[in-house]
Amino acid sequence: MHVVSRVKNNPEYAYPDNDIYLLPVAGMDIILEETELFYEMTTVLHRHAERVANVYNWKVLPVSTNIRHHLTDDCRLSWSEHTHISALASVANALAKGFDCVYVGSTVQVNYLRPFGTSLTLDYLWGGDINLFNIGSECFRLDKIREMSAHSELIENIRCCFMYATVNPPNCGRCHKCLWTLCTLEAVNKRHLTSAIFPPIGYDELCALVTKVKINFDWYMIPEWKVVEAALTENPEKEKLAKAIHHAVNKAKTRRFWRKIKSIPAVKSLSLKIQMLLSKTRQSWHKIKSIPALRSLSLKIQLCLSKRKRDKFMSAEH
């Protein structure tokens, strides 16, 4: 969702009455589709935009576009790294005849800028005939939600989820973006305002989900999660959630470490050799296990192990 403002004094244009419009764009995070589910999702998105716009006496200008399909499917370009801002700017430029400026939200906090999503330093170059501004780059998501927390109409209408599966509630509550937002809402003590837009998730369940979350795009997401963890640590009642985030961040750091190690050419070739060796070992075991006598022996061993595992689990349960 983006904001356009300061309507030009252009009598030919159809939107002369209001200063500020909210611009929910269907077909960006989720590719435009001619399906019932997509139509329902878009309707819900517009409804939430309307609720916010009504409070501020703004209007909603819904947009649909198939540009993401063209860029990512037809041209095989990366949405996050190559095309995100150009697609947003295409919508902005389509409105240039009637509007002065468009504001797009920042993707990344300014200290972690890379060619990814929107960019404080480059977005204005995409403006063309309209002024295009990137807003919020000085903030982490925690700061943005803390700022929003004084306005319940904003918190109650958050839609952060990019999963193509959920309409009501509009956020799945399971993907990494939903969990990141839910933890941030916990940190500012506003999660209770979002019961209508997320599925019911208890505090302990949230901790368990966060422990398992895979933090994508770790170079900017780890700092984002760390600031949420720091904010939760200040509240002794939220210690369990802070620990869950700590665990997830450590897993992401370990993954990053191994990725770096594996990118060293010598290690990469060694890793390939190890993989080939393992694969040969697997093939050998496969051949050995195909001998009938050994296969029946292997089955017996497996049954024995599985029984031992079950006994251990049962004794742990009691």
Q: Which C-beta is closer to Zn ion: that of 69 or that of 174? A: 174
Choices 28-36, 75-83, 146-154, 165-173; region in contact with Zn ion by CB under 5 A: 165-173
Token pair of 154 as six digits: 């904003």
Contacting Zn ion within 170-199 (CB under 5 A): 172, 175, 178
Return the bridge partners of 59, or none.
21
Q: Which C-beta is closer to Zn ion: that of 42 or that of 119? A: 42
70 C-beta neighbours (distance < 10 Å), count? 15
User: What are the CA-CA distances from residue 264 to residues 142, 258, 259, 267, 281 (Å)?
Assistant: 35, 10, 9, 5, 25
In whole angstroms, the minimum distance from the beta carbon of 172 to Zn ion comes to 3
Among 89, 161, 231, 241, binds Zn ion (CB under 5 A): 161
User: Rounded to the nearest 5 degrees, what angle is found at the Cα of 277, between the Cα atoms of 275 and 280?
Assistant: 110
Q: Which C-beta is closer to Zn ion: that of 102 or that of 172? A: 172
Which of these, 109, 303, 138, 135, lies nearest to 225 by C-alpha position? Answer: 109
In whole angstroms, the minimum distance from the beta carbon of 218 to Zn ion comes to 19
In whole angstroms, the minimum distance from the beta carbon of 219 to Zn ion comes to 21
Q: Does 130 bind Zn ion (CB under 5 A)?
A: no
Q: Which C-beta is closer to Zn ion: that of 98 or that of 170? A: 170
Kindly report the three-state secondary structure assignment for every residue of 288-311. HHCCHHHHHHHHHHHHHHHHHHHH
In whole angstroms, the minimum distance from the beta carbon of 313 to Zn ion comes to 31
Contacting Zn ion within 240-299 (CB under 5 A): none
Choices 162-170, 188-196, 239-247, 287-295; region in contact with Zn ion by CB under 5 A: 162-170
Choices 100-108, 169-177, 209-217, 303-311; region in contact with Zn ion by CB under 5 A: 169-177
Report phi then psi at 169, rounded to 5: -70, 160
What's the gap between Cα 40 and its chain centre?
Answer: 21
Cα 55 from Cα 153, distance rounded (Å): 8
Among 163, 222, 227, 267, binds Zn ion (CB under 5 A): 163
Cα 88 from Cα 123, distance rounded (Å): 10
Q: How many residues bind Zn ion (CB under 5 A)?
A: 5
Cβ 89 vs Cβ 132: under 8 Å: yes
Q: Which C-beta is closer to Zn ion: that of 172 or that of 245? A: 172
Task: List residues binding Zn ion (CB under 5 A).
Answer: 161, 163, 172, 175, 178
